[in-house]
Amino acid sequence: MIDVSPITDHWQDLVAGFRLTLWLSAMAWLLAALIGIGLSAVRLRGPYSVRHLARGFVDVMRGLPSLVLILACFYLLPATGLRLGSVPSGLTALALYYGAYFSEAIRGALAALPPGQIEAATATGLPPATVLRRIVLPQAIGPMIPPLAGLTIGLFKETALLSTISVHEFVFAGKEAISDSYAPFEIYAFIALAYWAASGVIAYGAGWIEARANRYRGRPA
């Protein structure tokens, strides 16, 4: 029988840790989305040199383990005179890292749109903002969701890496509870279940959005 008292004894701390994990995920996600949108816009429409710069940035991000980037932001940025706390530097690292991946997902979905779609809009005389809002995005959202959902779940889980730079998120709170209670099995099992459940919620939400975005497809004749 599993003894739940190590969990209940540290409930407050664990919940606080989980809440910080959720908050970190949301903030990092928003920043990554902004970076991703900016990068994909630049890579599709920017001047030649900026395009390559963005591409280089994405390549570097994709070639680094996220943990290395987190440690680099935490230990190396202060050396350049930029003194950030552990939370801001952790957020910066995750946002940069996932921003690069987000941009790939966005760019892929936009590039997959048949060129004729935009040509028809151009020939009609629609202004670019209308083309984006009415023609491009409604068709690109659906294909964008599966890769973005995977990345969002990845980002959510990898906030756990911020425990290495002593951000008091969920895993950090768990470790403290373990050093206090000596019950690693119960507490890690609880943490694993919580991550799993929350990831499931994200996946479910993404599936719902995707189904809605793709509603116009697959309508039988």
Partner 1 sequence: MTAALRAQGIRKTFGANEVLCGIDLSVARGEIICIVGPSGSGKSTLVRCLNWLSPPSQGNVWLGDTLLGQTRRPDGSLAPVPARTLRRQRARIGMVFQHFNLWPHMTAIENVMEGPRAVHGLPKIAARDLAMTTLSRVGLAERGDHYPGQLSGGQQQRVAIARALAMQPEILLFDEATSALDPELVGEVLDVMADLAARRTTMIVVTHELGFAAAAADRIVMMDAGRIIESGPPRQVLAEPESARTRKFVARTLSRNAALTALITPRV
Tell me the closest approach of the beta carbon of residue 214 to partner 1, in angstroms: 9
Contact between 173 and 80 (Cβ < 8 Å)? no
Tell me the closest approach of the beta carbon of residue 118 to partner 1, in angstroms: 9
Residue 164 or 214 with smaller CB distance to partner 1: 214
Residue 12 or 122 with smaller CB distance to partner 1: 122
Among the listed residues 82, 85, 79, the one whose alpha carbon sits nearest the alpha carbon of residue 24: 85
Which residues are at the interface with partner 1 (CB under 8 A)? 114, 116-117, 119-128, 130, 134-135, 138-139, 216-221
The tokens describing 85, both together, are 């706390």
Residue 34 or 111 with smaller CB distance to partner 1: 111
Tell me the closest approach of the beta carbon of residue 20 to partner 1, in angstroms: 39
Residue 106 or 135 with smaller CB distance to partner 1: 135
Tell me the closest approach of the beta carbon of residue 47 to partner 1, in angstroms: 17
Among the listed residues 38, 178, 57, the one whose alpha carbon sits nearest the alpha carbon of residue 103: 38
In order, the DSSP letters of 133-177 are IIIIHHHHHHHHHHHHHHHHHHHHHHGGGGGGGT--SHHHHHHHH
Contact between 38 and 102 (Cβ < 8 Å)? no
